[in-house]
Structure 1
Amino acid sequence: MFNAQYFRTFITLVETGSFTRTARRLEMTQPGVSQHIRKLESYLDKPLIERKARSFTLTESGRRAYDYALKLFAEHEQFRHALDDDSLDSGECRIGSPGSVGLMFYPFILGQQQMHPNLTVNYSFAFNHEIVNDLLEGRYDIGIVTEKVNHTELTCTVWHKEPLCLVVPADFAGSTLSDLMGIGFVNYYDGINYANVLLRANYPDEFRSMTHFRHQGFTNEVSMVLDAVARGLGFTVVSRLVLETSPWQRQVKALSLPHSINEVLYLLRRRDSVLPKRYEKLLDGFHHQRMQEKTPLALGQ
């Protein structure tokens, strides 16, 4: 019959190297320790140690049993912590977001995991409509999207705001709408929508529609769009999160504009769900960190 205590006694015996020290640590008698080891060997039907006068060595089966026992108790502790919804620093989190958000939010989460080994986060990068579907099907506990969602089974609340940046090649010398039309536009998922909003707010007398711009291409990977801008192929409009994490930020620059427009990030969850407190700590922690940072928008200028 499986008995976890026998495995615990075996682990302690291997770690102490002594029946006497094992008995003292576990507050048992030495014959009791020996009995646990014999019963574990009987259960596994394999000898685990080779007994000598005052010592022992592990058999091959003993080494494998020790490795298994360590894994067994580690998984047990992880499972136990995962059941604690009040814990801030342990348990599992399942999150989905677009790449533009995950470029900075996911590294923040990895930092939290490094500080709290019992915290496990499964993070997926996806488009807005995919996040909604996966959330409804139970693949995520929360989703972060860039558009407001109206659905009877979901709650949608504003979580965070990031400024939009009009990004041009570093050697771009223009500033007018005609100058921008001259170099063309590099598109991505959400690119057209963000460009429409930002240009309309800052060039109200001239801007009509993005259909009047020459389109220089499209990528479905937002983290790569600034590569095209850095090569002088056009301009784009991205969240500051994308610009600050881009390896091409020194080859591009964000134009200074009179009117700031924010990308609004919405938090989605199932209406009937009760989220463990660890989610609140992650979400609030990232939001507060971003609010405290004083990174200039006009990178490269």
Structure 2
Amino acid sequence: MFNAHYFRTYITLVETGSFTRTAQRLEMTQPGVSQHIRKLENYLGKPLLERHGRTFTLTETGRRAYDYALKLFTEHEQFRHGLDDDSLDSGECRIASPGSVGLMLYPYLLGQQQMHPSLTVNYSFAFNHEIVGDLIEGRYDLGIVTEAVNHPEINAELWHAEPLCLVVPADFTGTTLSELMGIGFINYYDGVNHATALLKANYADEFRSMAHFRQQGFTNEVSMVLDAVARGLGFTVVSRLVLETSPWQRQVKALSLPNAVNETLYVVRRRGAALPKRYQKLLDGFQQQRLQETAPALLE
């Protein structure tokens, strides 16, 4: 019958290369180690080792059994840590957000995973409505969306805000609304909504609707929209998160505007679901990092 102790003994034997050292590490007798290996071979029905006196090499079955055993115990540890809702630095995190948020949040989470190997991050990029639907279906534990959610099965809380930036080609010298209309608008998911909010706040006497702007193109991938702007094809309005992570940030520039408008971010989860404490630590840590990164800019 299956016995995890036999696999643990086998892993240790392969790693030490010695029955004697395996016995010492596991505080067993050497005959006990040999018995575990024989019972594992009997269970699998194939030899794991080719013995050469006091040394051995692995058979093909032995190599596959070792790989399987490593995977088995790794998944076991992840599962065990995942059951500890009070653990701040271990367990699985299932999170989804739009690309505008994930461009910076996902790398932050990966950094936390590097520092805490028992932490596992499963991250999905999705649109707001997809995130809500997948939360209800249980595919994620937590989502971050750019719109307030009113749904009986979802709990939404205001979490964070990032300024919207009016981004133009680096060689653009205009400042007026008519000059912006002259180069046209590059749209993306949420693009019209963001542009409407920012332009209305700063050109209140002139701005009427984004329908009056020539649309120069559309992409559903927000991380790529500044490529079009960098090529001089038009302007756009994106979150500061997008601008700061863009490989084209040197080929574009953000116009200075008197009235700031923020993209508001909401944390969403299934109503009544109690999330492990590690989620709140990750959210708080990201907020603190953003405050530290943007503080110099706010002081200028």
Kindly provide the CA deviation profile for residues 130-175 of structure 1, in whole angstroms up to 9, marking residues without a partner as x: 1111111111111111110111111111111000001111111111
- List aligned pairs for 1:276-287, cutoff 5 A: 276-287=276-287
Structure 1 pair 234–17 and aligned structure 2 pair: CA distance change class (3 A): closer
Separation in 2 of the partners of 1:160 and 1:50? 60
Cα RMSD for the two superposed structures: 1.8
Per the alignment, residue 258 of structure 1 pairs with 258
Counterparts of 1:52 and 1:170 in 2: how far apart (Å)?
71
Residue matched to 2:5: 5
Letter in 2 for 1:177: L
Counterpart-to-counterpart distance in 2, 1:21 and 1:186:
66
- 2-side partners of 1:220 and 1:17: how far apart? 54
Give the Cα separation in 1 of the matches to 2:88 and 2:272: 21
User: Would you say 1:143 and 2:138 are equivalent positions?
Assistant: no
**2:133 counterpart residue number:** 133
Q: Tell me whether 1:203 sits opposite 2:222 in the alignment.
A: no
Name the SS of the counterpart of 2:294 in structure 1.
Answer: coil
Please tell me whether the aligned partners of residues 169 and 229 of structure 1 are also in contact (alpha carbons under 8 angstroms): yes
- 2:116 aligned partner: 116
Describe the shift of the 1:214–1:52 C-alpha distance in structure 2 as closer, same or farther (beyond 3 A). closer
Q: 1:235 to 1:6 in 2, by over 3 A?
A: same
Q: What code does the residue aligned with 2:130 have? A: E
CA distance in 2, matches of 1:254, 1:53: 73
1:208 is paired with a residue whose SS is coil
1:153 aligns with: 153
Q: Which amino acid aligns with 1:157?
A: E
Q: Secondary structure at the match of 2:92?
A: strand
Looking at structure 1, the residues matched to 59 and 206 of structure 2 have their Cα atoms a distance apart, in angstroms, of 82
Are the aligned partners of 1:196 and 1:210 in contact in 2 as well (CA < 8 Å)? Answer: yes
CA contact (8 A) 1:81 1:90 kept: yes
Match of 1:62 in 2: 62
1:212 shift after superposition: 2.0
- Shift of residue 229 of structure 1? 1.3
Does 1:21 pair with 2:21?
yes
- Report the secondary structure of 1:85's partner residue: coil
SS in 2 for 1:293: helix
- Within 2, Cα distance between the matches of 1:186 and 1:77? 47
Shift, 1:13, TM fit = 2.2
* 2:249 alignment partner in structure 1: 249
* Farther off after superposition, 116-125 or 283-292: 116-125
CA distance in 2, matches of 1:168, 1:97: 26
Q: 1:91-119, CA deviations, whole angstroms, 9 ceiling, x for partnerless residues?
A: 11111111111111111112122222222
CA distance in 2 between partners of 1:70 and 1:175 (Å): 61
Q: 1:209 to 1:53 in 2, by over 3 A?
A: closer
Q: Name the CA distance, whole Å, in 2 between partners of 1:53 and 1:127.
A: 62
TM-score normalised to structure 2 length: 0.93
Deviation at 1:296, TM superposition (A): 7.3
Contact preservation (8 Å) 1:187, 1:217: yes
Matched, 1:294 2:294: yes
Q: CA 1:40 to 1:261, structure 2 compared with 1: closer, same or farther past 3 Å?
A: same
Residue of structure 2 equivalent to 1:43: 43
Verify the 8 A CA contact 1:240 1:297 in the aligned structure 2: no
Q: Give 1:202-241 correspondences, 5 Å limit.
A: 202-241=202-241
Distance 1:74 1:237 in 2: 44
1:31 aligns with 2:37: no
Pairs aligned (count): 298
Percent sequence identity is 81
2:73 aligned partner: 73
* Contact 1:254/1:297 (<8 A) preserved: no
Q: Which residue type is aligned with residue 193 of structure 1?
A: N
Whole-angstrom CA distance in 2 between matches of 1:211 and 1:107: 36
Q: Which amino acid aligns with 2:150?
A: N
- 2:89 and 2:15 map into 1 onto residues whose CA distance is 28
Alignment partners' CA distance in 2, 1:172 and 1:86? 52
CA positional deviation for 1:202: 0.9
Q: TM-score, normalised by structure 1?
A: 0.93
* Residue aligning to 2:103: 103
